[in-house]
Amino acid sequence: MISRANASYRAAVGLDVRSLRVLRVICHAEGITATELKEQTLIEKTLLSKLVADLIERKLVRRSIHPDDARHFQLWSTAAGKRLRTTADQFGQSLETEMLSMLSADERSELNRIVDKLVDVFRRSGKE
């Protein structure tokens, strides 16, 4: 399922799901540090570094030295990154609508509740 999602997103916006996740977090938390990004995405440090480098190379993200600590960088989305994120979000919404169209409103609500619970447990386990 992930490989199909990756193929769909690559065809639509040129990035895979993991890269889009990183871009979305940066767009949502402008000025985020790599450490904070790692905590929020739970992506291993080396892989995250490669993903961020690719986003920078594509001019979707820029980095600057942290004003309080020159050992750290802050990450910012560019205008192109924000546009791509919007396009990806719209594409994702259409995929989700199509996938969930077979469920009733109550079933969708229950699915969202369960997924939220799983994500919460997963995030807490990543901080330990």
Encode pLDDT of 63-102 as tens digits: 999 888 888 899 999 999 999 999 999 999 998 888 899 9
Identify the CATH number of the domain in which residue 75 sits. Answer: 1.10.10.10
Nearest to 35 by CA among 62, 83, 73, 89: 73
Nearest to 63 by CA among 100, 42, 37, 83: 37
Q: At which residue do the structure tokens 């540090």 appear?
A: 33
The answer, yes or no, to whether residue 111 has pLDDT greater than 80, is yes
Residue 46's pLDDT is: 96
How far out from the chain centre does Cα 113 lie?
20
Split into its structural domains, the chain has a count of 1
The answer, yes or no, to whether residue 126 has pLDDT greater than 80, is no
Measured CA to CA, the distance from residue 73 to residue 31 in angstroms comes to 8
When pLDDT is averaged across residues 9-21 and rounded to a whole number, the result is 95
Rounded to two decimals, what is the model's pTM? 0.82
- Percent of the chain at pLDDT exceeding 90: 75
